[in-house]
Amino acid sequence: MRIDTLEILRCPFCGGRLELVESIFHRRTAAEIGDGVLACECCTFPVVDGIPVMHLQANANDARAHVEDGRPDFALRAMVGLERPEDAERFEAAAQSETSTFRDIVESLGPGFEGGYFLYRFSDPTFVVAQAVVGAVAGAVLGGAAAGANRRAIDVCGGSGHLTRSLLEVSSPAPVLADLYFAKLWLARRFTAPGCEPVCCDGNGALPFARGAFGYAMCSDAFMFIWTKRPFIGELCRLVDGPQTPGTVLVTHTHNQLVWSPSHGNPLTPKGYANLFETRPVRTFGEAGLFRDVVAGGPLDLSRVDDAATLDTDAALTLIATPDARVFAPHPMTVDAAPRGVFRVNPLYQASTDGTTMRLRLKFPDVDYEYEYGACRQYLPEETTIDVAALKRLEAGGAIDELSDLIRRRVIIDLPRHYY
């Protein structure tokens, strides 16, 4: 972790500042803390492999004891949840190899790790809507010279950082990624959102940050799994409560209690969600309308006002609380001219080639994926072809022109380096 992150980090229990305990085992440089113990007036918390662990669950206590014993390697094992030595050694071998991919490390974490459909995340319908909304909202409130004084973003319950990646260019300093699952944060920092500042914490309690530390706070595809919804929204609002103007809170893809959906969670009704924001104005959008905008290639129209009937019949909702009127407008969707990582063929396609033409056929990993994410058929064609020479030029850093339509349709996607 960066030393200057201590400026915004606070104990979730006493609200006090944290400092590194210099009298016991630690590894640090002038700018970063690798391993050590942080202390406030009430608690101590470990820093494990550069990630502060700001909760008191059993694994965190074990990790802290290992750090105090001068065994940061055992602390890392405790936090990634590998207890048997052979499992831990498999992870460590994968982690220490520079050629390991995101997929290799997920596999080394074993079937107990919720890897799920991570490989297909960048083109699933939930993600493409969230990515468009995040790009529009964060771009409007954080990007450019017209932005307010605080341009830092936080992604709460951001998992392995697929959406945090979208914040890397607009957040300054680098975005914070907060999640309870240490292994996901570790993967995000290495692969999906390199440069982000990961913090391990529990979204069901007070978030370990100072009031007003951020200009933008978001939670995507996770809020229906948070039981303590009222304090959680209160915390997101506190995090963006700046001295002059409040910042922006965005919740994307939270399920609707009135419409069943797979992995339903504990959702509220549209009215119930709006009620959580109390005195802060919030605008609620049905995801279906936003999805139609994305499939059409934009613009993403956040000037729309969805009526109660539209909201009540949509399976997923987006909530935006911001005083910044620039958000509630149509936002053009453009294909980036250069990838953040590397352009590659979407792993949902089976490919065959005669050397000149690559033939692609859409193939879902299983029926469950198709059931939950089959709406991707609205932009992913069943079959298509790519000129092999054009693909090679693109992969070598050439212009996107020839293949921009396939990029827009997500047949070719911009993936992190060493993703699979």
Residues 28-47 that bind Zn ion (CB under 5 A): 40, 42-43
Pattern of binders to Zn ion over 387-406, x per CB under 5 A?
--------------------
Q: How far is the CB of 44 from Zn ion (least distance, A)?
A: 9
Q: Where are the beta strands (DSSP E) in 50-172?
A: 51-52, 153-156
Q: Which is nearer to Zn ion, 47 or 129 (CB)?
A: 47
Give the contacts of 150 (CB within 8 A, at least 6 positions apart). Answer: 212, 213, 214, 215, 240, 242, 247
Cα–Cα distance, 214 to 210 (Å, whole number): 9
Q: How far is the CB of 8 from Zn ion (least distance, A)?
A: 15
Q: How far is CA 175 from the centre of its chain?
A: 10
Q: Which is nearer to Zn ion, 40 or 406 (CB)?
A: 40
Contact between 14 and Zn ion by CB under 5 A: the answer reads yes
Q: Which is nearer to Zn ion, 3 or 42 (CB)?
A: 42
Cβ atoms of 73 and 91 closer than 8 Å = no
Q: Which is nearer to Zn ion, 39 or 168 (CB)?
A: 39
State the number of binding residues for Zn ion (CB under 5 A): 7
> Degrees (nearest 5) of the Cα angle 237, 141, 379?
105
Cis peptide upstream of residue 173 (ω within 30 degrees of 0)? yes
Contact between 329 and Zn ion by CB under 5 A: the answer reads no
What's 17's DSSP letter?
B
Give me Rg for the CA atoms of the chain.
22
Point out which span in 9-17, 78-86, 207-215, 394-402 binds Zn ion (CB under 5 A).
9-17
- Contact with Zn ion (CB under 5 A): which of 1, 8, 9, 11? 11
Point out which span in 7-15, 53-61, 195-203, 253-261 binds Zn ion (CB under 5 A).
7-15
Q: Which two tokens stand for residue 59?
A: 């694994």
> Degrees (nearest 5) of the Cα angle 103, 416, 316?
85
Q: Which is nearer to Zn ion, 13 or 369 (CB)?
A: 13
Point out which span in 3-11, 141-149, 163-171, 333-341 binds Zn ion (CB under 5 A).
3-11
Residues that bind Zn ion (CB under 5 A): 11, 13-14, 16, 40, 42-43
